[in-house]
Structures are given as structure tokens and as C-alpha cells.
Amino acid sequence: MANGKVVSEIMCIGRDTRTLTPSDKRRIVTLVEALAAKKGLGKALTTLWEKQKEIGFILGTPCTRENANDRSQFLCRKVGRYWLIHSPARKDRGNVPKLKRVGIMAKHARFVYESDDVNPYLHHPVEGEGFTRKCHLCSAAGAFPKEVLLPIELGKAGFLYGANFATLGHSHFTLWTEVPILQKYWPMDSLRWLCEHGDRLHCAEYSTFFNGLGAGNSLRHFHYQTLREPLPVFDAPCSRNFGASGIQRLEWPMPVYRLVVTRGNKRLAGLQRLDAFILAWLNMARHNTLNLAHRKDDAKNTHLIFIPRLDKDGYHHPKEITNDFAGCEVCGRINVENRQEWEQVVGLARKRQEPRQPPPDVDKMLRDIGPPDKAIERLESSLLVKDR
């Protein structure tokens, strides 16, 4: 079947009823997998995203420019090198009554519950003592009747894609492990999964990020998020080379490190060096955490970004913003959940003189949530390689 016919058939399924039966979902998955095999996973995901949006599963209509007249109220404006996002759906992603009212969640949704304790990290099919947190990832099949789950294998591990209804941009998906494991850095595996995901995409337009602070659809369940939008951090120039390690520090308000690798043995060696660098940070103090980001360029080179973070009060979000900054935000695509805060940051409130003050300095906002200089100096010394 020609690619155009595959796309057309996917878009026709359930169009009239705006519902999807189990057989409809299986058919869509089969067609999306066929499209991925021929055109790459990026093309297939974009088609699946458009299907999920058409069927009413996506809250908002993303745009790469300001679109204040859009009924979705999804706003996006370039401020210096950053993209400032306001997506009202983000603050409602855990609002079960609203999600049921708009048809995202089933009226009689079945949830899987995470354990309150991480040692050991367990799930349970009903709420009860010790199991009070709804795991939206493990609940996807029973709670979201319009969602199409796309299975994929990365590094011999099973993952599932689900369109993120609380969108941050175009083709925004959550990618999580079928077997629930903690949302933490898994030595080498976290990097390998990212790289293999990029290999499968065949699309330089996708960015993927990891929230080590436990943000997202599930507070603890391991997941990445990927979307067909640029993350400005990838355009940041190098400020320092750490010799033969290939690791570079970038010119960015908070400490950010990049490794660019090709496929094959050289990539494996590069990942091992970056893995050791990440572990040096995580082993330094119990509050140390991280964000990761990934993209592939047009020459098929893999770009990996490592951002050291602190999981402590005062380091989750700047004073000017009330929502946390996770992987997407620290990479320069900054979601601001409060509309008035978004207007203040992009300068609209200043233009209306409500209030009479300049917009916040975005560079300073990011600097304020970065780790202390002394901790970073200690981390960089672990590379044990003099600058070139």
C-alpha cells in the first residue's frame, strides 16, 4: 500500500463517530507500524498525532508562533533565544473531573495505583493503603478510551508511546517502559534508549527529553517525552572543551553539557564517557538529579545534552514562575502555566503597563535554578582532562 493511502486510511478510521473501538486501535497500530517501517518513526508518529488530535484526544492546537486568537489558548512566542509557551492543558493534566467531562478520560476509568513508598516501587490495580497515586501511564489502556498505544522495543526493552493530551507542542508523545521502573537515571540504559529512539525516528525535527525531577504523567514511572519542536539548547555554542572526552560545556545560563557522537563503536565509547560523567554528579550528593535531551542532526549525528540539577526546594522553579521547570523548560522551550505570568515574561503586561515593570530576565530565571558554582567546579574536575 502506498504511503499516502496508509496515511489516508489511518485518518479515516473513526472519523464519523469520533470514537475508536479496540479493533480500530489495532488497525491504526498496524498501519502506523507499516508507515514507520517505510518512512521512519518520525513520520509515523506525526500521523498518529494528527489522528489523535482529530479524534479529540489532544487539548489545544500547538503553533510555533503566537496564536492568541486560537480558541485553544495555546500561546507560543520567541523571546530572545527561548520559546515561551502557555498551554492551559498542562495544569489540567491531573484534573480527572475535567478530563472526564471533555471525553479524554472514560467516565468509569480504571486506574492502576503507584505505591507511596519507592522501596520497593510497586503498582496495585485498586486504590488502598499504601497505593494512592494514580499512575496514568499504567492506566492508559483502561482510562483513556480514545488513546492509541504504540508499542516499540528499545535496547531489548519494551516501551509504549502515547500522545500527550496536555500538549507542549506538535506531535508531543510520552514514551514509557511497559514494565514500571522508577523515574531515575539508569546507568547506560537511559542513554542507550535515547540513542536507539533517535535512530528509529529518522527525523531531525524531533527533540526528546527526560525529566529527572519526577515530573510528567506519572510522578515516578520512567518515561521520556518527545515532540516535533526545536529545543533552543541544541543551538547553544560551545564555551569549553574537555579534551579527548568529547564533552563540551555550552554557553547557557545554567550548566549544560553536550556530547555529539556517531553510530558504532565510537558512539558506545562516547556514551560510556558521558555515563561516567553523569554518575560522578549523581554520586556527589543525594539531592543531585538531572535532565537529559536528545536530537539527531541532518547528518545523522547524535546530540546528547546533560543538565545537572538539584532536587531541592528553591531549585525547581524561578521565583517569578509558579510551575516547575523540567527537561523541556531548562532546554529553552519554557512552559508557563499561568497566563498572567506568561504575559509578564514575554512583555505583554509591560506594554499594557499592567504592572509598570520590565519583564523578568529569562537568563536569570534559569541561572537561579542551576546548581552552585562550587558543585559544578567539583563535577568538571572529575573529567580529569585539561582543556584543549
Q: What is the pLDDT of residues 123-172, one digit of tens each?
A: 999 999 999 988 989 999 889 999 999 999 998 999 999 999 999 999 99
Mean pLDDT of 212-234: 84
Provide the Cα torsion 169, 72, 56, 9; round to 10°.
-60
**Could you tell me which residues come within 8 angstroms of residue 96 by beta carbon, excluding any fewer than 6 positions away?**
105, 109, 134
Is the confidence at residue 355, as pLDDT, over 90? no
Taking the C-alpha atoms of residue 51 and residue 34, their distance in angstroms, rounded to an integer, is 16
Is the confidence at residue 388, as pLDDT, over 50? no
The domain that holds 89 is classified in CATH as 3.30.428
Helix (H, G, I), strand (E, B) or coil at 44: helix
Tally of structural domains, the chain: 1
For residue 229, give its domain range: 75-336+368-381
β-strand partners of 210 = 224, 292
Taking the C-alpha atoms of residue 211 and residue 114, their distance in angstroms, rounded to an integer, is 18
Cα of first residue to Cα of last residue in the chain, in angstroms, is 54
* pLDDT-based confidence at residue 386 (cuts at 50, 70, 90): very low
Question: Does any domain span residue 210?
Answer: yes
pLDDT of 351: 60
Task: Between 343 and 356, name the one with better pLDDT.
Answer: 343
Taking the C-alpha atoms of residue 322 and residue 242, their distance in angstroms, rounded to an integer, is 36
Question: Does any domain span residue 279?
Answer: yes
Predicted TM-score of the model (pTM): 0.93
pLDDT above 90: percentage of residues in the chain: 72
Question: Does any domain span residue 219?
Answer: yes
Question: Does any domain span residue 355?
Answer: no
pLDDT of 63: 81
Question: Does any domain span residue 278?
Answer: yes
* pLDDT-based confidence at residue 356 (cuts at 50, 70, 90): low
Taking the C-alpha atoms of residue 260 and residue 206, their distance in angstroms, rounded to an integer, is 16
Question: Does any domain span residue 304?
Answer: yes
253 backbone φψ class: left, alpha, beta (φ>0; ψ -120 to 50): alpha
pLDDT of 216: 54
- 3-state per-residue secondary structure call for 322-361: CCCCCHHHHCCEEECCCHHHHHHHHCHHHHCCCCCCCCCC
Q: What is the pLDDT of residues 49-82, one digit of tens each?
A: 999 999 999 988 888 777 767 777 889 999 999 9
Is the confidence at residue 244, as pLDDT, over 70? yes
pLDDT of 349: 62
Q: What's 149's DSSP letter? A: P
Question: Does any domain span residue 345?
Answer: no
Mean pLDDT of 319-324: 92
Place of cell 495555546: 74
Mean pLDDT of 261-270: 84
Q: What is the mean pLDDT of the chain?
A: 90
DSSP code string of 15-31:
TTTS---HHHHHHHHHH
* pLDDT-based confidence at residue 215 (cuts at 50, 70, 90): low
* Contact between 20 and 31 (Cβ < 8 Å): no
pLDDT of 387: 46
Question: Does any domain span residue 39?
Answer: no
Is the confidence at residue 340, as pLDDT, over 70? yes
Mean pLDDT of 30-55: 95
Longest Cα–Cα distance of the chain, Å, equals: 64
